[in-house]
Chain A
Amino acid sequence: LAKTTQPISMDSYEGQEVNITCSHNNIATNDYITWYQQFPSQGPRFIIQGYKTKVTNEVASLFIPADRKSSTLSLPRVSLSDTAVYYCLGTGGLDYKLSFGAGTTVTVRA
Chain B
Amino acid sequence: GAGVSQSPSNKVTEKGKDVELRCDPISGHTALYWYRQRLGQGLEFLIYFQGNSAPDKSGLPSDRFSAERTGESVSTLTIQRTQQEDSAVYLCASSPDRESYGYTFGSGTRLTVV
Contacts and interface: CB of A to CB of B under 8 A. Distances in A.
Chain B associates with chain A: yes
A96 B94 CA distance: 11
A94 B56 CA distance: 13
A43 B101 contact: no
Contacts of B85: none
A41 B101 contact: no
Interface in A11-55: 32, 34, 41-46, 49
Interface in B9-66: 31, 33, 35, 40-43, 45, 48, 50, 56, 59
Given A96-B98, A102-B42, A43 B107 contact: yes
Interface string A47-67: 001000000000000000000
Interface residues of A, number: 20
Given A96-B48, A97-B59, A42 B107 contact: yes
Contacts of A45: 105
A91 interface: yes
Given A97-B59, A98-B103, A100-B42, A43 B91 contact: yes
Task: Give chain A's interface secondary structure class.
Answer: loop
Nearest to A41: B107
A98 B102 CA distance: 11
A30 B108 CA distance: 31
A25 B50 CA distance: 30
Nearest to A101: B42
B57 to A, nearest CB: 12
B106 A43 contact: yes
Contacts of A100: 35, 42-43
Given A41-B107, A43-B107, A45-B105, A98 B99 contact: no
26 contacts: A41-B108, A41-B110, A42-B105, A42-B108, A43-B92, A44-B43, A44-B103, A45-B105, A46-B102, A46-B104, A49-B101, A49-B102, A87-B42, A91-B101, A94-B98, A94-B99, A96-B31, A97-B45, A97-B48, A98-B33, A98-B43, A98-B45, A99-B45, A100-B35, A100-B42, A100-B43
